[in-house]
Every structure is written in C-alpha cells, then in structure tokens.
Amino acid sequence: MATKMEDNTRIVDELLDKATQYGKAELELAKLKALAKGSEIVSATVPGLLIMILASFFMLFLNLGIAFWVGGLLGNLFYGFFAVAAFYGIIALILRLFMHEWLKRKVGDYIIKRALK
C-alpha cells in the first residue's frame, strides 16, 4: 500500500513540476511576443517620424518664404506673416469643425491596426 501512495505522490509531484515549467514557458513566450510587437511598432514609427520631421522643416522654410514674399507684395513683412497665419488658422478651423471626428477615427483605427498586426 505504501508503494501505491508513493507512486501517486511521485506522479503528482511530476505533474506539478511540468505544470510549473509550462507556466514559466508560457510567461516567457508572452514576454517575447510583447517585445516583438513593441519593437515592430517602434521600428514602424521611427521612419515615419523622421519623414515627418523632415517634412516639417520643409514646410517651415516654405512658409517663411511665402510669408516674406507676400509681405513684400503687401509692403510690410509682418503682413505676410499675418496672411500665412490667417491661412493656417482658417484651415485649422475647417479641420476642427468638419473633420475632427473623421480624423480621430482614422488615427485610432490606424493605431489599433498597427498594434494588432
């Protein structure tokens, strides 16, 4: 009878050891999957961010040139800057009034799509 109990105890101990090993392996797999997803998101974001920075510099100098040019046409440099600022203010107002929800939905969908990919 004692050997039967020892066999059962040994089997339960082996089962617990295997369950523990399985749990550790699953945890490690989850960590690696999260790391892979995080690195994928970062590696996809960095080139886009770099392009946005370069495009921002381009737009900055383009707008400075337009502001100086319009200011020269209007007779005072600061009038050109006011005109460019007014143009962007109107664009921002239109985007806010008519496209805010659409942009919010598109950006949210893009972020979710990238995270679940």
Mean pLDDT by runs of 10 across the 117 residues of the chain is 71 88 93 87 84 96 96 93 95 89 86 76
Measured CA to CA, the distance from residue 71 to residue 79 in angstroms comes to 5
Does the predicted model carry a pTM greater than 0.95?
no
Measured CA to CA, the distance from residue 93 to residue 100 in angstroms comes to 10
CA of residue 13 relative to chain centroid, distance: 46
Measured CA to CA, the distance from residue 59 to residue 11 in angstroms comes to 71
